[in-house]
Amino acid sequence: MSSAAQPDPRLAISPADVTLDAPSDPSSVSQLVCRLHLRDGNSTAVRSEVSHLLRSRLRSASLIIFAGLGLFLVWHIFSLDRFDRAIYVLNFAAHVAATFVIGGIAYLLCSHRDYSLSELRWIEILTFFVPACFFMTLHYSKTTYLIESYGQHPDVAAAWLLPIYIYALFIPNTWQRATVFIGILAAIPVALILLSAATHPLSAELLVEQWDVIVTTVLVMFIAATSAIWGVHTINTLRTEVYQAKQLGQYQLKQLIGSGGMGEVYLAEHQLMKRPCAIKVIRPEKAGDPKVLARFEREVQATARLSHWNTVDIFDYGRADDGTFYYVMEYLPGMNLSELVRKYGPLPAGRAIYLVRQACDALQEAHDLGLVHRDIKPANIFAASRGGVCDVVKLLDFGLAKPLTEIDTAHLTAEGTITGSPLFMSPEQATGDVEPDSRSDVYSLGAVLFYLITGKPPFEDDKPLKIMIKHAHDAPPRPTELRPDLPVDLENVVLKCLEKASHRRYQSATELAEALEQCLDAANWTRESARHWWQGIGQPFDVPELNPRAMAG
């Protein structure tokens, strides 16, 4: 469903079983099977989407019309001897005026100035009726010239098909409003024939003899107008369906930012509060699996119980009318620690300590509430910007979190199934002999710390099973073997976390945090250091513009 392109780190959220891949097609958001009716509170969002879409389409239409008028203006210059001099000057003046007006409209629509929906509707009228006025002048003078010179009514219907179909294809509209607009355009060529007959006696005489001219014009304009209006209705219906497909309760889905075995993650916006957020949904084909739903619900409930600054916030949870489950998380500008190391290499010792200490604080709250995370890994620890502070750690993905005292939840993972990530799992998770506890998270956090300061996990192999065996039986390499400049005190902390026997590790996340605090490099990274680093790589931390402009096609 998504390409292998690297995700935008500003949009990165790493829920359970979700790999962050940028979607190859923004329209993939409509693949979410979630057809909800729009609510009254969303009318502002609808107007906003129509406004951005209308501007985009008007810009395209005005550029096309401007290009067409410009090309025909060149031809008009070389047609001096074909008409009466006075008629030529009038037509040429009208042509130049129409070209410059449409060119000015295109320029304004390409600028950065914002326009309200009512202003755009006036621009819409000018975009189509300024050329229409020129066509009327040209066709009336051409009709008069051909009647006087050749005794023949010209066929003016074909030229009017262009503005009618450009309007129908480009301009988002209701079919009722399109009926008025297109009806006026379709009536103009018929009115031109009648006007010519009313103002020119020879034209009236010829029209009686050549009555098929007006019949043909009426039929062509009627068919063109009817098909164009029906096309507007069809396009508008499809647009509404796509909008509803992007709607999940009070949340407007903006962009698919992650997809995995369990579900999708979307960048979204709350319609009333205009707050950016990330929404995780269960894949429809998974919705019927009780174990998947139970794990999903447990993830929400476990995370919602936590209130620590360094734990990702859960805003909302529910299910759509079609049974789709979803929950809403805070939007996190930044990147996870896996991306951080992959892009910029091993971290300085002080920064690694700074980040892991925060993760310890978040974990300790979970442990105090009887929750074991069981899937600590760099991808589940996020370095974000919150409240103007950089390098704020956010602990993600409690999908495998398991209460220490609630044995009844064991059925949610099949007996003998290994949970967690092989590269960072504890020996007891690898063997399955002992139920993981808080010290298992300490081991995993030590493995993460190893990765942050060396750029590699403690054990590597092509086969996950061999990695698990190494976690269970092999002594990890000393971090200084991979990076000789590392301080010994930090190395000792890492190795104590990675002890095979849980009773030889730090017995709590707080104990690990205190040990890290005693390291000599603990004071070498501060909030100011983090701010300067992020500024140095040019990482924007602004909240993304969550308007439908990016979705407009």
Q: Where are the domains of the chain?
A: 41-236, 335-536
Residue of 21, 361, 375, 521 marked catalytic: 375
Instruction: Count the Cβ atoms, other than its own, within 10 Å of residue 74.
Output: 8
Above 60 in pLDDT, residue 503?
yes
Above 60 in pLDDT, residue 461?
yes
- What CA–CA distance (Å, rounded) separates 102 from 499? 74
Above 80 in pLDDT, residue 55?
yes
In eight-state DSSP terms, residue 309 is T
Q: Is 399 exposed, middle or buried (0-12, 13-18, 19+ CB in 10 A)?
A: buried
Residue entry with tokens 């009254």: 40
Q: Of the given ranges (50-64, 244-258, 302-316), which has the lowest mean pLDDT? A: 244-258
pLDDT at 36: 28
- What CA–CA distance (Å, rounded) separates 106 from 66? 8
Helical axes 117-150 vs 201-209, angle rounded to 10°: 80
pLDDT band, residue 270 (cuts 50/70/90): confident
| Segment 471-481 mean pLDDT | 94
311 beta partners: 395
- Nearest to 108, CA basis, from 59, 41, 175: 59
pLDDT at 416: 39
| Segment 408-415 mean pLDDT | 36
Above 90 in pLDDT, residue 497?
yes
Q: pLDDT higher for 489 or 12?
A: 489
Instruction: Count the Cβ atoms, other than its own, within 10 Å of residue 210.
Output: 15
pLDDT at 190: 85
Above 70 in pLDDT, residue 471?
yes
How many CA atoms, within 13 angstroms, populate the side-chain half-sphere of residue 531? 7
* Tens-place pLDDT, residues 133-183: 888 887 777 777 777 777 777 777 777 888 888 888 888 878 888 899 889
Q: Is 325 exposed, middle or buried (0-12, 13-18, 19+ CB in 10 A)?
A: buried
| Segment 64-69 mean pLDDT | 90
- What CA–CA distance (Å, rounded) separates 428 from 416? 12
Above 90 in pLDDT, residue 266?
no
CB 160, CB 183: distance < 8 Å: no
Helix, strand and coil in the chain, % to nearest 5: 60, 10, 30
Above 60 in pLDDT, residue 43?
no
335-536 under CATH 1.10.510.10, yes or no: yes
Q: Please list, in sequence order, all residues whose beta carbon lies within 8 angstroms of the beta carbon of residue 503, skipping any fewer than 6 positions away.
A: 439
- What CA–CA distance (Å, rounded) separates 202 from 148? 8
The structure tokens listed for 328 are: 């809403």
Question: What DSSP string describes 197-211?
Answer: HHH-HHHHHHHHHTT
The structure tokens listed for 473 are: 């039986």
Question: What DSSP string describes 251-276?
Answer: EEEEEEEEEESSEEEEEEEETTT--E
Q: pLDDT higher for 236 or 234?
A: 234
381 beta partners: 395
Q: pLDDT higher for 181 or 12?
A: 181
* Tens-place pLDDT, residues 309-326: 898 888 887 777 666 778
| Segment 407-416 mean pLDDT | 36
Q: Which amino acid is at 259?
A: S
CB 401, CB 356: distance < 8 Å: no
Above 60 in pLDDT, residue 33?
no
Q: Output Rg (C-alpha) for the chain, integer angstroms.
A: 33
- Nearest to 245, CA basis, from 46, 31, 49: 31
Pairing of strands 325-330, 276-282: antiparallel
Q: Of the given ranges (40-44, 158-162, 224-228, 537-541), which has the lowest mean pLDDT? A: 40-44
| Annotation says 433 is catalytic | no
Quick check: pTM over 0.75?
no
CA distances from 105 to 89, 112, 136, 548 (A): 24, 13, 20, 22
Q: Is 99 exposed, middle or buried (0-12, 13-18, 19+ CB in 10 A)?
A: buried
Q: Which amino acid is at 100?
A: F
- What CA–CA distance (Å, rounded) separates 131 from 62? 10
